[in-house]
Amino acid sequence: MSIENLYSQHLSSKSNQVNDGINFSSYKLEQIGESSNSCIFSITNKNKQSQILKVIKHNSQNSYKLEGREQCSGHSRECAHLQNEYNMLRKLNHPNIIELKHDQLIQNTSIVDTNINGCCILLEKGNCDLLQMLSQVYPNVLEMSYLKYCFKKIAFAIQYLHEEKKIAHNDIKLENIILFNSEPKISDFGFAQKHELDPIVQIKNWLHRSKKNVAPEIINNMKKLKAKQIDDIKAFDERKTDIFALGIALFNALIHQNPFEIMADSNDSLYSKFYEQDGASKFWSDPQISRMLDFISSFEHSKVPQLKNLLEGMLHPNPKQRYCIKQVLSHEWFNL
């Protein structure tokens, strides 16, 4: 489904009911995050139970005009993403996927004691995300056995999405892996969707997302779209792009950097090394990468040869040859 259709659904379902039955004045609110168009609050009730309130801010400069529709002031494209996240989470039930804590999308809501008005959802609250945890221990790494545990749990959640629900998450990254004590859960389902067969709709959806570290098939389609080679744009399996993103996240968690910086409009020498013919060996022997591999090889359970094999399978440039989630889960590295 295109973002335009999502946004149309969002506008047509607007409610005049304030807060949808939630009285925020009875909660203690603490703002813990903010971007240009969103705010994250920790909200605590009188029983000292905490949840996350995710708010997409409205203002008169946030307008999204659909073809054939009057301009609607206040709502933004991100409101449609929030509605998509809400719709997805309502259908999901897995121990390693974040839980929705209210049965309605809260729309047109004013947050008490703030100047913020917007659309919101309530989510369970974790301790921190995996990137924050890694930053706390840097320049060291997390215990290797725990990283294996963490990524295997996330892989099980992705298997549930891919095989049972036929859904691609489309935004797998360390920031979207939330830790609940030691248990990891996938969050942020704003871009998640069932497999889209229309290649034009598919690539246009990706235009509204970060173009950093996306799979090669997406980069190729973006270049074709920019060159107006519309007939050459081919549909791709977004479940395989999830595997690519998971590989990037695993590499980042272990080596404290991305394997390469992939952008639709730039070149990266490590990317070229990895994807030229028989180039993986050149990539792994790059001085910077080699030093990091030597560092993590000193840790118990690191098993660098098997790790390299796993990453090469997850980051394969050809999505047809790239691992599926079942191959990831059955890989020997997780069991060594």
Tokens found for residue 283: 């990539």
What Å distances lie between residue 250 and 53, 102, 127, 172, CA to CA?
Answer: 28, 32, 20, 10
- On whether the CB atoms of residues 192 and 169 are closer than 8 A, the answer is yes
Per-residue confidence band for 44, with pLDDT thresholds at 50, 70 and 90: very high
Q: Which residue has the tokens 């590295």?
A: 333
- On whether the CB atoms of residues 170 and 193 are closer than 8 A, the answer is yes
Structure confidence by residue, pLDDT tens digits, 183-198: 999 999 999 998 777 8
Strand partners, 55: 39, 120
- On whether the CB atoms of residues 108 and 14 are closer than 8 A, the answer is yes
Tell the CATH superfamily of the 128-334 domain. Transferase(Phosphotransferase) domain 1 (1.10.510.10)
Pairing type for strands 106-110 and 117-124 reads: antiparallel
Per cent of the chain over pLDDT 90 is 45
Pairing type for strands 177-180 and 106-110 reads: unpaired
Strand partners, 129: 178
Helix (H, G, I), strand (E, B) or coil at 57: strand
Range ranked top by mean pLDDT from 7-11, 157-161, 296-300: 157-161
User: What is the Cα–Cα distance from 252 to 6, expressed in whole angstroms?
Assistant: 32
Q: Which of 6-10, 60-64, 79-83, 103-107 has the lowest mean pLDDT?
A: 6-10
What Å distances lie between residue 46 and 24, 28, 29, 50, 216, CA to CA?
Answer: 12, 8, 12, 10, 50
User: What is the Cα–Cα distance from 167 to 9, expressed in whole angstroms?
Assistant: 20
pTM of the model: 0.86
Give every CB contact of residue 168 below 8 A, 6+ residues apart in sequence. Answer: 161, 162, 192, 193, 194, 195, 237, 238, 239, 241, 242
Residue 208 has phi, psi (to 5 degrees) of: -90, 10
Distance spanning both ends of the chain, measured CA to CA? 41
Measured CA angle at 114 (ends 113, 120), to 5 deg: 110
Q: Residue 74's pLDDT is what? A: 64
The DSSP code sequence of 182-246 is TEEEE---TT-EEPP--HHHHHHHHHTS--SS--HHHHHHHHHHHTT-GGG-----HHHHHHHHH
Helix (H, G, I), strand (E, B) or coil at 294: helix
Could you tell me the residue ranges of all domains in the chain?
24-124, 128-334
Q: Which of 177-181, 313-317, 328-332 has the lowest mean pLDDT?
A: 313-317
Helix (H, G, I), strand (E, B) or coil at 319: coil
pLDDT exceeds cutoff 80 at 15:
no
Greater pLDDT, 44 or 75 = 44
pLDDT exceeds cutoff 80 at 264:
no
CATH class of 24-124: alpha beta
Greater pLDDT, 220 or 22 = 220
Task: Compute the average pLDDT of residues 158-174.
Answer: 97
Give every CB contact of residue 105 below 8 A, 6+ residues apart in sequence. Answer: 13, 20, 82, 83, 86, 119, 120, 121
Nearest to 243 by CA among 161, 324, 157, 330: 324
User: What is the Cα–Cα distance from 236 to 222, expressed in whole angstroms?
Assistant: 12
